[in-house]
Structure 1
Amino acid sequence: MTGGAEAAPALPSLDGWRVGVIGFGLMGRPMARALAAAGAEVIVHARRASVRDIAAADGLETADSPAAVARTADVVLVIVSDTPAVESVVAGSGGLLGAVRPGHLVIDMGTTAVATTRALAARVAGAGADYVDAPVSGGQVGAEQATLSIMAGGTEAAIARARPVFQVLGTRLTHVGDVGAGQVAKAANQVVVGLTIGAVAEALTLARRAGVDPGRVRDALAGGFAESRVLAMHGRRMVEGAFTPGARATTQRKDLDQALALAEAVGVTLPATTLARDLYDRLIARGEGDLDHAALIRVLDDRVGPGR
C-alpha cells in the first residue's frame, strides 16, 4: 500500500550486499560512507578520476564507468546533479543499460524530471531490472547524519528490496506511488523550500533595513506560525552570512525550473515559483551560484555574506 510514511527502525546490516554508488559529491560521499558503515561493499563511480581517488582514499572500491559498477553490484544508486547526468549514467556510452540484468535494482536518488524518470525506468524494466525513483530531502547535513527524508516511486516489490538501503540512509520513507511519483513529491518539496527561503530572506532583510537585529527577529519568530526548518537553519546562515553550500543555489534553481516544467505539462500556473526561480537567476548572474541556496538573501541585501 502506498501513501504511508515510515519511521525507520533500528539500522539493518548490509553485510553481503554489493551496492554501487554513482556520484560522489556533497550527497553521494556521505551516503556511500553510511552504506559502507552498515556493512555493504560499496563500488563508486564518478566522472572525474580525482574524485574516484577520494573514494579510494575513503576505503571504497571504484569503477571507471556506470556499466562497470553494474557488472559487480546488484543494487546501484544514482546520485548525480541533474536530469542530463542521470540520462548519461543510465543510457549513455558506458551507461547502466549496457550491463543491467534481471535482478538488478537501480535507484535514482537525485532530482530528475518526471517524464525522463518514467522513460528511463521503462528501458531498465525492459532489461528485466527494477527501477525506483527516490529523491531525498535534508541536504548535505541529512546525508552526513543519515537522517534523510526519502520520497519513493516504484512497485511494492522494488520498494521492499530497496527498504534496507533506505533505512541506512534516512529516518523517513514515504512510498508515494508508481515510478515518477517520488519525483513529483520532490518537485513539490522544492517549491516549498524555494519559496520559504525567499520568504525568510525578505523577512530578515526587512528587519535589518528597519534597524532591528535580524538574529533577534529570527529568534522571535521561532515557536510561532512562521517557525520552520528553513527559518531555523537557513535563517541562521542568512544572519551569519555563512553560505558554504549544503545545497547549491544552482541546484535549487534547477529544481524550481524542473517543477515549473512539470506544472506546464499538467496545466498548472505557479506564479510565486516563477518569481523564486527568477530571483535565483539573478543570484547566479552575480557569480554566486555555487553558494548555498540561502544566499538568495544577497539579491535583496548586499550587506550579507561574501563581499560585504
Structure 2
Amino acid sequence: MTKVGFIGLGIMGGPMAANLVAAGYEVAGYNRSQPKVDKLIAEGGKGARSVAEAVDDADVIVTMLPDSPDVESVVLGDDGVLAHAREGALLIDCSTIRPDVSRQVAEVAAKQHVQALDAPVSGGEKGAIDGALSIMVGGEADAFAAAGGVLDAVGKTVVHVGPAGSGQTVKAANQLIVAGNIGLVAEALGFLEAHGVDTDSAFQVLGGGLAGSKVLDAKNAGMRARQFQPGFRIELHHKDLGIVQSAARDAGVSTPLGSLVSQLMAAAVAQGDGSLDHSGLFRQIARLNGTE
C-alpha cells in the first residue's frame, strides 16, 4: 500500500486526504489544529503529531498550504518536509503560491533526490469533496506519471502543463478568470435588480447563452440570496490576485481588468469581508452603487 503524508487538512486538504483514504492509500495527516487531524482519523486515516512524523516513511507527500511563505517554511524549513523526506519520495504541492517559489522547491528537492510537482487545484470545496478538482501540474514528465494514481483520486481533470512553476502560472490565470467572472456576475445582478427584473429567470436565460459560465451557475443563487458561506474565501482570492499581479510584472504583461478586480478584492478585505465566499465581492460592488 502506498503511504501518503498529507500536510494541511483545511477546507480543501481535508476532503482531498479523505478521498485518498477512500481510494485505498495509507494516509498520515498533519495539521496545526488537532480537530482537523481527528476528522481524518475518523474517516480512516492516521494522525501525525508533526511534519516529520507525517513524511518520514511516506512514498508520496502532499502539501496543501495557504500561501508562499507557508510552503517556504513547511517544505524548505530546517525541520520541514524536505529535511525528513526519504530519497525517492514524490512531493506534490497543491498549494496556490508564486511560480518562483515552486521552482525553488523543485530545485531543492532535486538536490535531495526527491521528485517535486506543483499541482494547484481548482474547483472549490465541493470539487474537493467530490474528488472532481481540476489540477494543473508543473514538473518533470516522469514525476507526473508517477503521481497519476494520487492525482486521479482527488481530481477529475488532471493535466501536465509544463516544467516546474507552470502549474502555478496556469492557476494564476485560472484565478484571474474566476475573479473577473465573479465581478461581472455581481455587476449584472446589481444592474438587473436596479431595473426590477426577475433575477431567477434572467440568470436562467443568461446561463444558456454565451454569457453562461460555471461561475454564473455556481454563484448567482448565493449572490441573489445574499448568502456567502465560504467555499473559497475572499481573503484567499485576494492573495491569489497578488500572485497574478506579481507574475504579470515579472513577465512585463499588462492585466488591466485583473488589476481592477484585484483592487475590488482588496477593498472587500479592508472592509471586513475577507472571510466571506469570494462571491461576496458582490457586497463591495453594491457598496459602490449605494445599495449595500
1:136 paired residue number = 121
CA-CA distance at 1:211 after TM superposition: 1.6
1:252 aligns with 2:237: yes
Report the secondary structure of 1:87's partner residue: helix
1:49 aligns with 2:34: yes
Alignment of 1:99-178 (within 5 A): 99-178=84-163
Give the RMSD, CA atoms, in angstroms.
Answer: 1.7
| In structure 1, C-alpha distance between the alignment counterparts of 2:165 and 2:260, rounded to whole Å | 26
1:199 aligns with 2:166: no
Report the secondary structure of 2:230's partner residue: coil
Gapped runs of 5+ residues in structure 1? 1-15, 303-307
1:242 aligns with 2:227: yes
Contact conserved, 2:139 with 2:162, CA < 8 A, in 1?
Answer: yes
Instruction: Single out whichever of 141-150 and 214-223 deviates more from structure 2.
Output: 214-223
CA-CA distance at 1:112 after TM superposition: 1.1
Letter in 2 for 1:58: E
CA-CA distance at 1:56 after TM superposition: 2.8
Contact conserved, 1:205 with 1:214, CA < 8 A, in 2?
Answer: no
Structure of greater relative contact order (alpha carbons < 8 Å, 6+ residues apart)? 1
Return the match for 1:34 from 19, 28, 35: 19
> How many positions carry a matched residue from both structures?
291
Gapped runs of 5+ residues in structure 2? none
TM-score when normalising by structure 2: 0.96
Deviation digits for residues 108-143 of structure 1 (CA, Å, limit 9, x no counterpart): 111110011101111111100100011111111101
| In structure 1, C-alpha distance between the alignment counterparts of 2:75 and 2:161, rounded to whole Å | 23
Letter in 1 for 2:79: G
| In structure 1, C-alpha distance between the alignment counterparts of 2:42 and 2:275, rounded to whole Å | 25
2:261 paired residue number = 276
| In structure 2, C-alpha distance between the alignment counterparts of 1:301 and 1:78, rounded to whole Å | 37
CA-CA distance at 1:104 after TM superposition: 0.5
Report the secondary structure of 1:36's partner residue: helix
1:189 aligns with 2:174: yes
Report the secondary structure of 1:72's partner residue: coil
Report the secondary structure of 1:20's partner residue: strand
Report the secondary structure of 1:110's partner residue: coil
Identity %: 40
1:219 aligns with 2:199: no
